[in-house]
Amino acid sequence: MNPLVDPVGVVHYLVVGAVLFTAGIVCMAVKRNALGVLMGIELVLNGANVNFVAFGSPVLRADAGPLAIDGPVIALFVIVLAAAEAAVALAITLNFYNNHSTVDVDRADELKG
Amino acid sequence: MMPSTLLGPASLLGPTSLLGFVAGGGTACGFAMVPLAAVNWHGLFFLAFAVVACVMAVAVVLADNVVRMAFYLVLSLGATAGLFFLAGAEFVGAMQLMIYVGGTLVLLVFGVMLTAQAPFVSIKTATGDRVLAGIVAASLLAVLLQAAFSVHAWREPGRFPGDTGGVVEPMSTPLGMALVGVRVDDPSPGLAQENGGGNGDGSGGAAAGGRSGYLLPFEIVSVHLLVVLVGAAYLARAKRRRSSRELSEAAR
Amino acid sequence: MASFLINTLGLPAWLAWTITATVSAALILNVMAVGALVFIWAERKIAARIQDRLGPTRTGGKFGWLQSVADGIKLLAKEDLMPEGADGLLFRIAPYVSFCASFAAFIALPFAFDFVGQRLNVGVFYVVAVLGLEVFGVILAGYASASKWSLFGAMREAAQVVSYEVPLGMCVVVPVMLAGSMDLVTIAEKQAGWFTNWYLFHDPFTFVIFWVYFTCAVASVNRAPFDLAEAESELVAGFHTEYSGLRWSFFFMAEYGSMFLVSALASVLFLGGWNGPVPIASLLGLSEGTGDTAGYLVRLVGCLNLILKSTLGVVVMMWVRWTLPRLRIDQVMTTCLKYCTPIAAVMFAGAMLWSFFLPGGLVGIAGRRILSRPAGEIREGWLKGPGGRGRDVVSSRPITEAAMMPAPLHSDDGRRVSR
C-alpha cells in the first residue's frame, strides 16, 4: 500500500479521484461566482476521469485486459464534452453578465416565485 | 531526500540500506520511514503529482479570487495530466494538457476578464455555507474512500513500469482505431463464445460480444461539438443595439 | 546513457536513471539559457543590419558578442519591482509558469536519433499542448499586474493563442498522418535519406502547409508581426509592462526558448529533423543506431544539423519581425480564421488524398524514388518496364496502409528504448 515501496495500484488513483470529486462538489455548492461553479464542474469531471484512466491502465492492474482501451476512450469523451460544456456555460455566463452586470449566481432569481 | 546513513535506525536494517534513500515526502503523508534499496521513482512521482492535484483542488475551493482559483485549477489539472502519464495513458494526458489546461482554462480566465467590474473581484461565500459544505464534503469523502477500499481487487499493487521492459505498450494507435470503430485488441473469447461461438472472419469476431469500437459515439460527439460551436457563438454574440443604448444612457 | 551506466560502470538501475535524468535536464536547461543569450545578441545584430546600423560593437571585443552576458548581469542587479495594487502571488509566479511551460516542451524534442529527454509515444501532441500552456503565464502576468496595459495585452494574447492553436494543430497533423506516428523520433526517421525525402517536398500540399505552420508558429509564440500582447506602440510593453529585473528576463528566456522550440518542431516535422540534406553517414556506411564511437559521432552531427536548422528558423523569424509592420488585432484574427484555418484544412485533405492516390509521388518527382531506394529495387522497377510507375512499384508502402495495420502496436523493438 505504501507507494514508496510497492508499485502504485488502482486504489491510490481512486483516492486522488475521490478528493478531486469532493472538492469539485463543494466548489459547485459554495461558490457564488458563476465561473467558480464552472471550475467545480471541471474538477468533478476530472475526478471521474482519474478513475476511468486508473481502471483501464495496464500499469496499475495486471487484469486490465480490454479495459485498456475503454478507460482512456471514455476519458477522452469526458474531456471533449467538458470542453464543449465549458464553452456553452461561459457563453451563458457572458449573456447573464450582459443582462445583469454581475456573475453572482445568487442574483439570478428573476423567476423566483 | 537524505541518505539513510544519517538515520541511525535505518542503517541498522542491513547493508542494503547503506544505499538507501528515504523520501521526505513519505513521512509528510503519514507513511512510515522505509529505507529503500532503490528509489521508486514511479511511486515518488505519483506522490508528488497526487499531492499537488489534491492540495490545489482544495485550494480552488478555499480561494476567493477567481483568477487565483483558475491558477490553482491549472496546477491541479496539470498534475492530473501527470498522473495520466504515469498510468500509461499518454494520449489522455496530452489531451488533458491541450484541451483542458490550454483551452478550457484560458477560456475561463478570458471569461473572468470579460466579466470583472473591478480588479481582483471576489464574491465571498457565507461562513455558514462553508461549514455546512465542509461537513457534507467530509461525509462524501468518507463514503467514496470506503467504496474505494472496499473492493479487494483494487487494493492489489500494480506493476513497476520496469517490469514491462521499461516501456508501456504504446496505446495511441489502438485508441485511434477504437475511435473509428475497429478494436485491434483481441476481443475477449468468453463473450464471443457466449454469442454463438467466434465466427471465422475477424470482423465478425470483433463485432461479437458487443465490442465493435466507438464509431457512433465519436460521430455523435463531433456533431455535438459542432452544435456547441454554433450555439456558443450565438449566445455570446455582441448585441449591438443594446450596447449602444446603454452607452447613450451612460453618456447622459 | 543509462544503459552505459548500468552495463559498463555497474551502477544500480535507479541511480543510473537518476544521473541520466539530471544530465538531460541540465543539458536542456543549457540549450534554453545559452540559446537565449545567443539569440538576443543575434537579434540585435540582425535588427541593426536590416535597419542599416551596426548594433552592439564594443562589449567583449569585435562583434559585441558579450553584450547579452552584460545585459544579463545588469538584469540580475536590477531591483525587483512590484506594483502596489498587484496580486503578489500571481505576479511573482507568472514568469516561472511561462518558463516552465517552454522548458517542459523540450523534454520530448529529439535532438538526434537517441538524444531525446523522454521519447514519448505522443511526442508531437505533447509538445504542442505544453507550448500552449505558455500563454497562461502571460495571462496571469497581465492580470496580476493591475495595470490596464498589461490586462489589454493579456486579453489579446489569450484570444490570439487560443485561435491560432486550431490551424497549428491542423498543420501538425499532416506529417503525423504521413509518418503514421505521433512519435517525433519516428517522424524524423521516416525522412532519412536525401533532402527530397523531407516532408516539405513530399507533395505540393505539404510544401504549402509548412508555410502555414510557420506563420501560425510565429503567431503562437508572440513574435512580430503578431506580437500584439506587447505592442509597444500602443500598450507600453503589454503584459510585461510592470516587470523588471530577473522576472522580466524569465519572460524573455521563455520567448526565445519557444521560438527555438517551434523552429525545431518545424525541422523535425517538415525538414527531416537531424537528417542532413545529403545522407553522408549512410553513404559512408555508418549507422546512427549503433552504439560505437562512429555511431555516436553520427548522432552528434545530426544534433548539430537540427540545431542549425532550428537556428535558421529563428533567424527567419527575426528577419520577419524587423521587416513587416505589426498587424491590428482584427487583422490577426482574420489571418487566423479566414486564411490559415481554411488553407490548413484544404491542404490537410489534399495531403491525405495525395498520399492515398499517389503514394509514390508524381513522375516529375521520380528522382526522389531513385535516390531513396536501394539499387536492387530500382533495377526491379526498370525491369518491369516504363509502364511500371504508379502503385505497383512505389518505393515505400502507402503510408495510409501502414497506419491502418494493427501491427505498430509492438513496432518498437527494444533497441530504441535504451538511451
- Phi/psi at B65 (5° precision): -75, 130
Q: Is the pLDDT of residue B198 over 50?
A: no
C-alpha–C-alpha distance, residues C339 and C57, integer Å: 42
pLDDT digits (tens, 9 = 90+) for C255-312: 888 888 889 888 888 888 777 777 776 666 666 656 667 777 777 788 888 888 888 8
Q: Give the residue, C191 or B199, on which the prediction is more confident.
A: C191
C-alpha–C-alpha distance, residues C8 and C418, integer Å: 14
Q: Left (φ > 0), alpha (ψ -120 to 50) or beta: where does C390 sit?
A: left
Query: Which H or E element spans position B138?
Result: helix B127-150
The DSSP code for C198 is: S
Q: Give the residue, C158 or B246, on which the prediction is more confident.
A: C158
**Cα angle B101, A52, C177; round to 5:** 60
- Do residues C235 and C151 lie in contact, with contact meaning Cβ atoms separated by under 8 Å? no
- Phi/psi at A33 (5° precision): -80, 130
Q: Give the residue, B195 or C7, on which the prediction is more confident.
A: C7
Per-residue burial over B166-192, b if 16 or more Cβ lie within 10 Å, else e, is eebbbbbbbbebbbebbbbbebeeeeb
Q: Is the pLDDT of residue C139 over 70?
A: yes
Model confidence band, residue B232 (pLDDT cutoffs 50, 70, 90): confident
- pLDDT of B112 reads 77
- pLDDT of B4 reads 33
C-alpha–C-alpha distance, residues C189 and C116, integer Å: 13
State the average pLDDT over residues C331-337.
85
Same domain, C54 and C120: no
**What are residue A33's DSSP bridge partners?**
A104
- Phi/psi at B122 (5° precision): -145, 130
**Taking CB atoms and an 8 Å limit, are B214 and A65 in contact across chains?**
no
If 0-12 CB within 10 Å is exposed, 13-18 middle and 19+ buried, where does residue C375 land? exposed
C-alpha–C-alpha distance, residues C243 and C256, integer Å: 17
Model confidence band, residue B160 (pLDDT cutoffs 50, 70, 90): low
Strand B2-3 to B21-22 pairing: antiparallel
Taking only the tens of pLDDT, chain A with its 113 residues reads 566 666 777 888 888 899 999 999 988 888 888 888 888 998 999 999 999 888 887 777 766 666 677 888 888 899 988 888 888 888 888 888 877 777 777 777 777 66
The set of cell numbers assigned to B101 is 489546461
Q: Is omega for the bond preceding C386 within 30 degrees of 0, making it cis?
A: no
Across the interface, of A22, A39, A93, the residue whose CB is closest to B115 is A93
Q: Left (φ > 0), alpha (ψ -120 to 50) or beta: where does C187 sit?
A: alpha
Percent of chain C with pLDDT over 70: 77
Least confident of A87-91, B215-219, B223-227, B236-240: B236-240
Strand, coil or helix: what is B33? coil
- The torsion angle over the Cα atoms of residues C191, C195, C200 and C202, rounded to 10 degrees, is -70
Across the interface, of B92, B133, B239, the residue whose CB is closest to A75 is B92
C-alpha–C-alpha distance, residues C393 and C391, integer Å: 6
- pLDDT of C285 reads 65
Percent of chain C with pLDDT over 90: 0
Per-residue burial over C162-189, b if 16 or more Cβ lie within 10 Å, else e, is bbbbbbbbbbbbbbbbbbbbbbbbbbbb
B76 CB within 8 Å of a chain A CB: yes
C402 CB within 8 Å of a chain B CB: no
Model confidence band, residue B33 (pLDDT cutoffs 50, 70, 90): very low
In a domain, C408, yes or no: no
In a domain, C214, yes or no: yes
**Cα angle B166, B167, B171; round to 5:** 165
Q: Is the dihedral of CA C396, C399, C400, C401 positive or negative?
A: positive
Same domain, C17 and C119: no
CB atoms within 10 A of CB B25: 16
Integer CA distances (angstroms), C63 to C41, C45, C60, C230, in order: 10, 9, 8, 29
State the average pLDDT over residues B152-163.
65
State the average pLDDT over residues B76-105.
84
* DSSP letter for each residue of A82-104: HHHHHHHHHHHHHHHHHHHS--B
CB atoms within 10 A of CB A59: 24
Rg (CA), chain B: 26
Q: Is the pLDDT of residue C211 over 80?
A: yes
Model confidence band, residue B243 (pLDDT cutoffs 50, 70, 90): low
Q: Which site among C22, C107, C139 would you substitute to test the B interface, given the most B Cβ atoms closer than 10 Å to its Cβ?
A: C139
Strand, coil or helix: what is C156? helix
In a domain, C382, yes or no: no
The set of cell numbers assigned to C141 is 502576468
B101 CB within 8 Å of a chain C CB: yes
Q: Is the pLDDT of residue C194 over 80?
A: no
pLDDT digits (tens, 9 = 90+) for C346-371: 988 888 888 777 666 554 454 455 44
A59 CB within 8 Å of a chain B CB: yes
In a domain, C413, yes or no: no
C-alpha–C-alpha distance, residues B146 and B31, integer Å: 19
In a domain, C412, yes or no: no
The structural domain count of chain C equals 2
- pLDDT of B223 reads 92
Calculate how close chain C gets to B41, using CA atoms only, in Å.
8
Give the position of cell 536525401: C194
- Identity at C254, one-letter amino acid code: A
C-alpha–C-alpha distance, residues A24 and A44, integer Å: 5
- pLDDT of B22 reads 31
- Identity at C9, one-letter amino acid code: L
Across the interface, of B40, B68, B172, the residue whose CB is closest to C121 is B172
Same domain, C348 and C237: yes
Q: Do chains B and A touch (3 or more CB pairs under 8 A)?
A: yes
Model confidence band, residue B209 (pLDDT cutoffs 50, 70, 90): very low
CB atoms within 10 A of CB B37: 15
Same domain, C110 and C68: no
Model confidence band, residue B100 (pLDDT cutoffs 50, 70, 90): confident
Q: Is the pLDDT of residue B224 over 60?
A: yes
- Do residues C205 and C333 lie in contact, with contact meaning Cβ atoms separated by under 8 Å? no
Angle at which helices B215-235 and A67-100 cross, to 10° = 10
Report the mean per-residue pLDDT for chain C.
75
Model confidence band, residue C392 (pLDDT cutoffs 50, 70, 90): very low
Query: Which H or E element spans position C123?
Result: helix C123-144
In a domain, C86, yes or no: yes
Same domain, C73 and C86: no
In a domain, C407, yes or no: no
**Residue range(s) defining the domain that contains residue C6:** 1-77
Q: Is the pLDDT of residue B18 over 50?
A: no
Model confidence band, residue B34 (pLDDT cutoffs 50, 70, 90): very low
Q: Is the pLDDT of residue C166 over 60?
A: yes
- Who's near C192: CB < 8 A, 6+ residues apart? C272, C275, C279, C282
Q: Is the pLDDT of residue C404 over 80?
A: no
Same domain, C256 and C350: yes
- pLDDT of B244 reads 53
Domains, chain B, with CATH or none? 1-39 (no CATH), 49-117 (1.20.120.1200)
The set of cell numbers assigned to C33 is 539559457
- Who's near C215: CB < 8 A, 6+ residues apart? C335, C340
- Who's near C320: CB < 8 A, 6+ residues apart? C218, C223, C224, C225
At which of C317, C332, C359 does a domain end? C359
Same domain, C236 and C341: yes
Same domain, C257 and C142: yes
C-alpha–C-alpha distance, residues C2 and C18, integer Å: 9
B19 CB within 8 Å of a chain C CB: yes
- pLDDT of C357 reads 74
- Count of CA atoms in the C-beta half-sphere (13 A) of A39: 40
Calculate how close chain C gets to B107, using CA atoms only, in Å.
8
C-alpha–C-alpha distance, residues C217 and C188, integer Å: 19
If 0-12 CB within 10 Å is exposed, 13-18 middle and 19+ buried, where does residue C285 land? exposed
Q: Give the residue, C266 or C24, on which the prediction is more confident.
A: C266
Same domain, C106 and C234: yes
Same domain, C3 and C101: no
State the average pLDDT over residues C50-73.
78
Calculate how close chain A gets to B195, using CA atoms only, in Å.
18
Domains, chain A, with CATH or none? 10-106 (1.10.287.3510)
**Taking CB atoms and an 8 Å limit, are B100 and A57 in contact across chains?**
no
- pLDDT of A44 reads 92
In a domain, C417, yes or no: no
Same domain, C180 and C272: yes
- pLDDT of C55 reads 75
Q: Give the residue, C173 or B180, on which the prediction is more confident.
A: C173
At which of C308, C324, C359 does a domain end? C359
- pLDDT of B240 reads 55
Q: Is the dihedral of CA A43, A47, A49, A53 positive or negative?
A: positive
At which of C27, C62, C77 does a domain end? C77
State the average pLDDT over residues C26-34.
80
Name the residue in chain B with its Cα closest to that of A100: B115
Q: Give the residue, C212 or B206, on which the prediction is more confident.
A: C212
Calculate how close chain B gets to C185, using CA atoms only, in Å.
14
Percent of chain B with pLDDT over 90: 3
Least confident of B25-34, B75-84, C83-92: B25-34
Same domain, C224 and C316: yes
**Taking CB atoms and an 8 Å limit, are B90 and C121 in contact across chains?**
yes
